[in-house]
Structure 1
Amino acid sequence: MNTCFISYNIMPTSTADYFITLSNKLSETNKVVVIAGKIRETKIKLNKDITVLNWPSERPTSWKDFWFLIKLVRLYKPDMMISMFGFVNLFLIVGWLFRVKIRVAWIRTLSSQYAQKKYKVIRKSLIYSLATDIITNSQATKKDVALFFKIPERKITVLPNSVKNYKNSLQKINLDSNNLLYVGRLHSSKGIDVLIQAFSQIVQKYPNLQLDIIGQGPLLNQLIDLTKSLGLIDRVSFLGEKNKETVLEAYKKSYCTIIPSNSEAFGFTVIEAMSVGTCVIGANNSGIKEIIVNEETGLLFKTGDFDALARQLERILMDVNYRNNLANAGYSRFLNCYETTHAINRDTMFFEKLLNVRI
């Protein structure tokens, strides 16, 4: 039996749901050790035969975290180490030092979200070079990683993100034909100002519309000022951060969820919205356009063009049947490509193949 180390936060989020489910699947044929920064109550539980350990620090960057991992590697002698986010550095360094045969880094963000200081880029490039395999969530992220961090493409495999099928559990939530939705960070890279500008145009023709914005971030006050200047203070609601259940209900209620990001590694919001069966409109860039098939499973608009977004919004507001057809096709695409059961089977086969070939 092979031993697999996996590091992630155990939280009530879609990302954690996926990694908990993957850990459970891998534990059917392997010894699995999960090393978590944060451990919170979740609906999906790890199998009892999985060893769950806590990093000394929530974000492991100190010497005590380094020695903690060294002791674990000496004790368990893992054959494979999988990490993502803030856990990558120590996993790759210690894994390389102790010649762990399979060292996997899971990259889920674009370089545009990374601190651009030259020494940090060089340092991260060196750390990524210690990986035997890199996983990205989209072709866009793969190309970005290869160019920005100088990683050979042969080392990079694309395994798209996934979420559970939530549609059936939200049948009691009614559609609100006047509700539009944004979910995500309030950050300049997310294009929320473009959405508000487009909304200011469309609300003149559809005065009962309401735009809900769920999320926190440094742009909050600036966006509130924008809504005030456009006379939208009663039509746009900044709802702050919400728990997962509330966000899913918001997706289900919305007539359309809009993803106006200037760039996006994957577009997690896109598949979350699709998973409940709502309509999606996204900016035509990077990871978003890999998920939405324009005019088939949703609509795309030119990135940064609020006039183009307003036109796409008007198309679905004018024709509810067209909106419903897009929503239904988007849900079907989600089931076929991005639903967790499908993804877990795909990804488990990938990791089992690595173990079979290299161990």
Structure 2
Amino acid sequence: MNNSTADYFITLSNKLSKDNKVVVLTSKIRKTNITLDESITILKWPTKRPTTWKGFWFLCKLVRDYKPDIMISMFSFVNLFLIVGWLYRIKIRVAWIRTLSSQYAQKKHKVYRKSVIYGLSTDIITNSVATKKDVSSFFYIPDRKITVLPNSVKDYSDSLQDIMTATESLLYVGRLHPSKGIDVLIQSFSQLLNHFPKLRLVIIGHGHILNDLVKLTESLGVSNRVSFLGEKDKETVLKAYKKSYCTIIPSHSEAFGFTVIEAMSVGTCVIGANNTGIKEIIIHEETGLLFETGNIDDLTLQLGRILNDKDFRNNLARNGYQRFFNKYENTYAINRDSEFFKRKLSS
């Protein structure tokens, strides 16, 4: 798809294809920002979801034909990939986990089943220490099996130099879901308007609580200062990051926090809730600011600090970009992750 996740995995596939035969299985084949290497085989999954017997036999045939050394899977493909990989004794069976268990229904039989399936892996990759701890404790996976390889995005700073920062614009990007803490942000924003009446809050994303959030802005009397833009393409989102004075990530929990590094990648300032994957990226008062999760007054306090001190804000933004470039930029991450798989193959 046209997003940072797709950019990363296409680039990683291209990197791995330099020394290996790479086969990509996907539920949908669409146009992408980055072209896959011609040597890569792209196959469409035969069913709507990879949870059927037809999909099982399809994968078995591919494994017999290609005899892979490594099988890497994520999201809904994990179960079949690990089961088939175990049955055919594939040397390296990787589950790439990018979401916290709290995002799923936690029925006991499903948790037990997932624990058993994860046990069939030789390696598990997580995108943060928080996700690693979650997988280890929730699914009883030994730490020795789990490697943390943080998410990454491209460096977009050079392509957005002509966009000026709007000093009175705050931004949220993400799903409109109760776990994202958007209500906390809106209530904090309403407090800020008492001291900064020209502020605007831009919310990009879609979700089932949109009407509830609109009603909240109306009840607080701030609906004329809050813009709900819906879902936008990647280019529009990047420009919104660059234009914003600050991007806020108020989530109650995050496996990683893609929004944090995307905002950092264009050189804007970030403020995030002090929990899980977010606090692994933001170094408080150095590369951004953290506030106590769910605490409206603390978020208002932290936002007030950068609104009252532009130099402080700009310094945080510069340091945030440098942290992104050193640790979460695509080129660095692709080299890191391809070396991980190279070591696995040679072990």
Q: Same fold (TM over 0.5)?
A: yes
Matched, 1:194 2:184: yes
SS of 1:280's partner is strand
Task: Compute the displacement of 1:59 (Å).
Answer: 2.8
Aligned to 2:322: 332
Which of the numbers 33, 46, 49 marks the counterpart of 1:59? 49
- Could you tell me how far apart the structure 2 residues matched to 1:344 and 1:210 are? 37
Matched, 1:15 2:5: yes
Task: Compute the displacement of 1:58 (Å).
Answer: 4.3
- Could you tell me how far apart the structure 2 residues matched to 1:265 and 1:84 are? 14
Which of the numbers 9, 21, 27 marks the counterpart of 1:31? 21
Aligned residues: 347
Correspondence list, 1:138-149, <5 A: 138-149=128-139
Write the letter of the residue equivalent to 2:289: L
- Could you tell me how far apart the structure 2 residues matched to 1:149 and 1:200 are? 41
Write the letter of the residue equivalent to 1:278: T
Matched, 1:163 2:153: yes
Matched, 1:204 2:194: yes
SS of 1:182's partner is strand
Correspondence list, 1:94-109, <5 A: 94-109=84-99
Task: Compute the displacement of 1:227 (Å).
Answer: 0.5
SS of 1:239's partner is strand
- Could you tell me how far apart the structure 2 residues matched to 1:309 and 1:13 are? 29
Matched, 1:304 2:298: no
Aligned to 2:80: 90
Task: Compute the displacement of 1:204 (Å).
Answer: 1.4
- Could you tell me how far apart the structure 2 residues matched to 1:267 and 1:249 are? 19
| CA displacement 1:330-353 (0-9 Å, x = unmatched) | 000000000000000000100000
- Could you tell me how far apart the structure 1 residues matched to 2:62 and 2:308 are? 60
- Could you tell me how far apart the structure 2 residues matched to 1:58 and 1:320 are? 50
Aligned to 1:73: 63
Write the letter of the residue equivalent to 1:223: L
Write the letter of the residue equivalent to 2:35: K
- Residue segments in structure 2 that go unaligned for 5+ positions in a row: none
Task: Compute the displacement of 1:57 (Å).
Answer: 2.6
Write the letter of the residue equivalent to 1:280: V
Structure-2-length-normalised TM-score: 0.99
Task: Compute the displacement of 1:119 (Å).
Answer: 1.0
Task: Compute the displacement of 1:116 (Å).
Answer: 0.8
RMSD: 0.7
- Could you tell me how far apart the structure 1 residues matched to 2:260 and 2:120 are? 32
Matched, 1:122 2:112: yes
Write the letter of the residue equivalent to 1:164: K
SS of 1:228's partner is helix
SS of 1:31's partner is coil
Indicate conservation of the 8 Å contact 1:284/1:301, yes or no.
Answer: yes
SS of 2:214's partner is helix
- Could you tell me how far apart the structure 1 residues matched to 2:47 and 2:15 are? 27
Aligned to 2:235: 245
Which of the numbers 140, 148, 152 marks the counterpart of 2:142? 152
SS of 2:208's partner is coil
Which of the numbers 316, 321, 335 marks the counterpart of 2:306? 316
- Residue segments in structure 1 that go unaligned for 5+ positions in a row: 1-10
Indicate conservation of the 8 Å contact 1:258/1:282, yes or no.
Answer: yes
SS of 1:223's partner is helix
Aligned to 1:274: 264
Matched, 1:136 2:126: yes
| CA displacement 1:15-41 (0-9 Å, x = unmatched) | 011000000000111111011112211
- Could you tell me how far apart the structure 1 residues matched to 2:125 and 2:107 are? 24
Indicate conservation of the 8 Å contact 1:38/1:58, yes or no.
Answer: no
Task: Compute the displacement of 1:90 (Å).
Answer: 1.0
Write the letter of the residue equivalent to 2:225: R
Task: Compute the displacement of 1:174 (Å).
Answer: 1.5
Task: Compute the displacement of 1:265 (Å).
Answer: 0.7
Aligned to 2:167: 177
- Could you tell me how far apart the structure 2 residues matched to 1:266 and 1:37 are? 24
- Could you tell me how far apart the structure 2 residues matched to 1:57 and 1:228 are? 44
User: Cα 1:257–1:58, aligned 2, differ >3 Å: closer, same or farther?
Assistant: farther
- Could you tell me how far apart the structure 1 residues matched to 2:272 and 2:49 are? 32
Which shows bigger deviation, 272-281 or 169-178? 169-178
Task: Compute the displacement of 1:195 (Å).
Answer: 0.4
Aligned to 1:343: 333
| CA displacement 1:252-274 (0-9 Å, x = unmatched) | 11000000000111111000000
